[in-house]
Amino acid sequence: MTGPKHVVIVGAGIAGLTAALALAQKGIASHLLEQAESLEEVGAGLQLSPNATRILDDLGLADALAGRWSEPDHILLSSGSSLAPLASVPAGAAARRRWGSPYGVLHRADLQAVLLDAVRREPLCTVTSGVRIGQSRQIVEIAGDKGDLVIGADGVWSRLRHEVKGALPARYSGNIAWRFMLPLGDAPACLNPRTVTAFLGPRAHLVAYPLARRGVFNIVAIHQCGHAPAENWSSEGDEAARTRLAGAFSGWHAQLRRLVEAAETPLMWPLHESPDGPWTDGRRIVLIGDAAHAMTPFAAQGAAMAIEDAAGLARHLAGAADLPAALGRFERERRQRVGRVRARGAFNRFAYHARGPLALGRNLVLSLRRPESLAADFDWLYGYRMPD
């Protein structure tokens, strides 16, 4: 065997679309199955760090994305109570110089549109939408006659995960993210249109960055919540949920408190994560992205890890003489990388939501770090390049 000739990809989100393009670059055809009738504009903003934009550039998408994203000058950590800056990591031109690729922010739908357009122009890729699948076994049966391999890119509540023995369902992380947009002209003075800013507070933090093409700030307010909501992507939340949101930011600076309280139709996203477990059945099914290792956004690496997975899988499959062995190598390589990113996210969760003496200590340590020194802490993450 010289590697798969044709694969089926379940899910046409960022992971699935990127995988289709990466596989096509290696001469491998793919058929994407998507349950939605049409791939509409959904989701919110996202950050694409250099480790992800480097791969998208390699896929020939840099020019298309350049007109859709903006490159913030800095990534700033600030106090949620006083608005005082705590630390700053250079981005913008500095990111290009240090890590060799841009740090971009854009709407998730804009990235998906660029990926989908490229997939539709690629002769080796086909997409079928509106595929309603009730059981995971049905997916395997549908894919059985169409490909040598089935790639599960169907998100945090993946049905394909049920076909991988030992893979456990996603679990609620104890945190809720509220997402909403704010017109640039309506933003308070504390929001900088050239910066990704994370405001930190006890048991909560708020991230704001501009989506310049749309003329808005993307706002994400995350707070700890022991009340586990229903298992879904997003909802407007009931009155009790909005009360908990307001309470989580009640001790914050008035500008940010009013921002949260006045948000129009914010969407509540319960944050789920996947327990550690296998990503492949060792034969013909492999999981990537959130289907394999859904993580909370404390390191802003969810989309980036999906993009890395896609490129890494394509590299391991190209010319593989033994498919199960190739899947095993892919999983081992990516598990080590994703594990380190998860650890960084766990550290950020602790640091961002610290309170009392721990928060004072955090602020003191950050105040002693120069921007260039902080940037060096991200070399392993943002400067990552796929192994040969």
Q: What is the pLDDT of residue 145?
A: 59
User: CB of 48 within 8 A of CB of 106?
Assistant: yes
Residue 388: its pLDDT value, please? Answer: 75
The confidence band for 213, taking pLDDT boundaries of 50, 70 and 90, is: confident
Which pLDDT score, from 0 to 100, does residue 1 have? 47
Task: List pLDDT tens digits, range 331-373.
Answer: 999 999 999 999 999 999 999 999 999 999 999 999 999 999 9
C-alpha pair distances (Å), 339 with each of 208, 282, 289, 345, 379: 27, 20, 13, 10, 16
Q: With bands split at pLDDT 50, 70 and 90, how would you rate the model's confidence at 227?
A: confident
Query: Residue 39 pLDDT > 90, yes or no?
Result: no
At residue 66, φ and ψ (nearest 5 deg) are: -60, -35
pLDDT reading at 94 higher than 50: yes
Q: What is the pLDDT of residues 228-266, one digit of tens each?
A: 666 555 577 788 889 999 999 999 999 999 999 999 889
Q: Which of 103, 172, 209, 352 is catalytic?
A: 209
Reading the block at residue 80, the tokens are 């949620």
Give the separation between CA 261 and CA 141, rounded to whole angstroms.
Answer: 49
CATH class of 6-72+100-170+274-350: alpha beta
The reply to whether 209 belongs to the active site is yes
Say what the pTM is.
0.95
Say if CB 14 and CB 111 are below 8 A apart. Answer: yes
Please report which confidence band the pLDDT of residue 40 belongs to, taking 50, 70 and 90 as the band edges.
low
Helix (H) or strand (E) holding 206: strand 204-211
Pairing verdict, β 74-79 and 85-90: antiparallel
Give me the mean pLDDT over the 42-54 stretch: 90
pLDDT above 70 for 163: yes
Residue in the structure block whose two tokens are 């706002």: 219
Question: Per-residue pLDDT tens for 259-315?
Answer: 999 998 899 999 999 999 999 998 889 999 999 999 999 999 999 999 999 999 999
What is the structure's pLDDT at 232? 56
Nearest to 106 by CA among 62, 155, 162, 67: 67
